[in-house]
Chains A and B, each alone.
Chain A
Amino acid sequence: MPQTAPGAAAAASSKKQGGEQPDSSPAQKAQRSKTGRLLEDADKKTRRLKDVEISIPIVYGTISFWLGKKASEYNSHKWTVYVRGATNEDLSVIVKRAVFQLHPSFNNPTRVVESAPFELSESGWGEFEIAITLFFHSDVCDKQLDLYHQLRLYPDDDSGPQSTKKPVVVETYDEIVFSEPTESFFLRVQNHPAAIVPRLPAGLSFPPPGPIEHVNENKRGDTKDHPLSQWFMNFSEADELLKLAAARQQVQAHIVKLRRQLSMIDGMPQQSKAVSGQ
């Protein structure tokens, strides 16, 4: 079985982190010939940054409206399925295209969306699972990512009269994590609001990137002023962190108590059961 020897891997990593600095100094860059620059770009596409991960917080889900008077037996709701940046930033810097796989009863159930905002609107009567596949730009990742979302048309609570004004919104927060990204990807997104990019470890720095490429000039890619944005849910990690911290405290206190009790039962009060646990 082919295995890279640790020695080779170490050499490769040192090449990445230590070796390329002189290459990227502006003065030398200016002197390079065209071919040199091309080679460098190619390098950037293959060199990866170890121990670095770039995460893209996203929210994906569906919003569905009852059609009210215009509803028929086979067309009772209109809905939109989408993938958006969690802060409503443009995802097209990372995502090349999104493919939504609908229920086979739809015409052309495989819908491809080539530009942001990555969404699809349809109308129908049934609830089913939608498979969303995200394809990334070539320097980002050549593997695709699959997401699954259950379309819901009817609210769970009281089956009171449906309103055409208030939609059923189901959103899921998640983060796409790219581990060991390529240099070129890193450079492209290091200052982009859609991405969470860590500080590079000391000793390594990149020149500030050029202007962020706009993939399509006609349509806005971000969803900040999206027509449905009033329905978007807010996801705040602060709440969750607070709850988690409180829970951990409780658990830790309980652990301490139990340890104390255990040591008492053993009949030797001096027994060091590491009462001050963690």
Chain B
Amino acid sequence: MDAKDILGLPKSSLPAIQEKKPRQPKESQRKPDGISREVYALTRDMAPLIPSIEVSQLKPRPSSEKEKISWQWLPFTSSARTDNLQLYHWVRVVNGVPPTGDYAFAKYNKSVDILKYSDEEYEKHLIDPMWTKEETDQLFDLCERFDLRFIIIADRFPTSRSVEELKSRYYAVTRSLIIARAPSPGDVSGHPLVKEPYNLTHETERKRALSTVLSQTRQQERKDAEILVEAKRIMESRMASKVAEEVEVPVSSVGNEGSEKATVPPESVSPSGNVHPSSSTAAPPAPRTDSASTPTSLRMLRVYLRTHALDQMVQAASSTAGLRTIKRVDQTLQDLGVHVKPKVPTKSVCAEHLELRKEILTLLNLQKQLQNKEAEASANRENSYTEAPSTPKRSYRGEVDRPFVPDSTTVGGERAGKRDQKRKASGRFVDTPPSPPQSKRPRKLKTSDG
């Protein structure tokens, strides 16, 4: 149609335009019956595209031909009541016949069977130094009234007794009564109360523990979880090693590094259990190399990778050091041209590597000590000397931070001049220091003089 408009006679478009105008007023005038104006405006007399409601979905009308239902306001009684009160309610009457039977909810009126004792029975079996007969009677009365809801009973009890005490007394009395009344002990030995008497102290303890657990802070929770996981691992490893060949290591003999966790939990296993699980095998504890220096885990591993063993020993050795120090050790190793993790980890290489790390730690500690001492000393000397106190610190700090700067930084440059400019004492290790930087010497002389 459009094409015709474009290509065809322009005249043909006119009638279209003309058509529109009269049509519009026509449409608004023609208001439909049956549906509202707005709905019609939306749907424009078109049928919906899809049926909106399936006819089969409609609920079939309840067939009202079968029975005649009516509702009546009738009185009723409940067997649960003891006072003959008559109440009224609506009742569904079918064909004129009202329903029979007890009140529907009467069946929920259950109560606990509390044993009642006579006075002779009390005298014979139930005397207790902590409880008077009066109290016991009151207790039992409350138990009956409140269906053994001890919280309420404790609240209502005239003298203040804890819930556990009340429970204990009640169960003890009932137990004694059961046993006393039974024709023979064998008959009641199956009774749960006879089999497992109420244990007051245990219960008190248990509730106390529960409330502690409930009131733990998140951090404590985490710590506890960690400890439990450790303990579990330790237990598993023990089971595993027991199942495997005989165990020879005297388990108690190990002194542990960094495994305080293992000693803390109550169910803990002796300290040799412990520590970080290996990435290479399942189980933990104690090691042995031929020399006596035994890192604590590893022994019961039976099989492990030497790199893993080295990692453990390194961790153990640097357990006292902070993260920064560990980073500095690694940096020092690099400066010295040594791989932070040996490329060829044989036994001797690993041993040397470990020793080197320990020596570097010692070195760093000494440097720190020196720094501190210098700081103190310079602070004292602040008054005596005109030179800025910061100088000694600076001169030492230079070598403290990177004492072993790799050779490549000094190679290729002119020696004396460049070295003086650099604060780092890199020259030291390339060669014997010919002329230490000017700033240092006066300081040094002074200290030796002082």
Chain A residues at the B interface, C-beta cutoff of 8 Å: 1-6, 9-10, 12-13, 16, 46, 48, 50-53, 55, 57, 136, 140-148, 173-180, 182, 196, 198, 235-237, 239-241, 243-248, 250-252, 254-255, 258-259, 261-262, 264-267, 278
Contact = CB atoms under 8 A, between A and B. Distances in A.
B349 A3 contact: no
A166 to B, nearest CB: 22
Given A141-B303, A173-B345, A266-B373, A9 B245 contact: no
B366 A248 contact: no
Contact of B289 (A5, A53, A241, A244): A53
B288 A53 contact: yes
Given A179-B287, A240-B342, A247 B250 contact: no
Given A2-B238, A243-B338, A248 B288 contact: no
- 8 pairs of A and B residues whose beta carbons are closest in the complex: A6-B250, A247-B336, A175-B306, A244-B352, A258-B366, A9-B250, A141-B303, A3-B251
B352 A147 contact: no
Query: What secondary structure prevails in chain A residues at the interface with B?
Result: mixed
Given A141-B303, A241-B348, A258-B366, A180 B281 contact: no
30 contacts: A1-B269, A46-B245, A50-B288, A52-B290, A136-B303, A140-B303, A141-B302, A142-B244, A143-B283, A143-B303, A174-B305, A175-B305, A175-B346, A176-B306, A177-B309, A180-B288, A180-B302, A235-B343, A243-B337, A243-B338, A244-B356, A246-B336, A247-B336, A248-B359, A254-B403, A254-B404, A255-B363, A255-B366, A262-B366, A264-B447
A248 B356 contact: yes
Interface string B127-164: 00000000000000000000000000000000000000
Given A250-B429, A254-B363, A265-B447, A55 B306 contact: yes
B369 A241 contact: no
Contacts of A143: 240, 244, 281-283, 301-303
Contact of A174 (B252, B290, B306, B373): B306
B356 A247 contact: yes
B242 interface: yes
Interface of B: 238, 240, 242, 244-253, 269-270, 279-283, 287-290, 298-299, 301-307, 309, 332-333, 336-339, 342-349, 352-353, 355-356, 359-360, 362-363, 366-367, 369-370, 373-374, 377, 403-404, 429, 447-448, 450
Given A3-B251, A237-B348, A247-B333, 19 more contacts: A4-B249, A141-B303, A143-B244, A145-B281, A173-B344, A175-B345, A180-B248, A182-B245, A235-B344, A237-B349, A240-B339, A244-B349, A247-B336, A250-B404, A250-B429, A255-B363, A258-B366, A264-B447, A266-B373
Contacts of B369: 262
Contacts of B343: 173, 235, 240
Q: In the complex, which of the residues B247, B279, B429 has the most CB atoms of chain A within 10 Å of its own CB atom? A: B247
B11 to A, nearest CB: 63
A46 B244 CA distance: 9
Contacts of B301: 143, 179
A141 B283 CA distance: 13
B306 A265 contact: no
A176 B309 CA distance: 10
B308 to A, nearest CB: 9
Contact of B359 (A146, A239, A255, A264): A255
Contacts of B362: 255
A266 B377 CA distance: 9
Contacts of B367: 258
B317 to A, nearest CB: 15
A267 B356 contact: no
Nearest to A236: B344
B386 to A, nearest CB: 20
Contacts of B404: 250, 254
Nearest to A278: B359
Contacts of A241: 348-349, 352
A250 to B, nearest CB: 6
A173 B305 CA distance: 10
A76 B247 CA distance: 52
Given A50-B248, A255-B359, A258-B363, A57 B303 contact: no
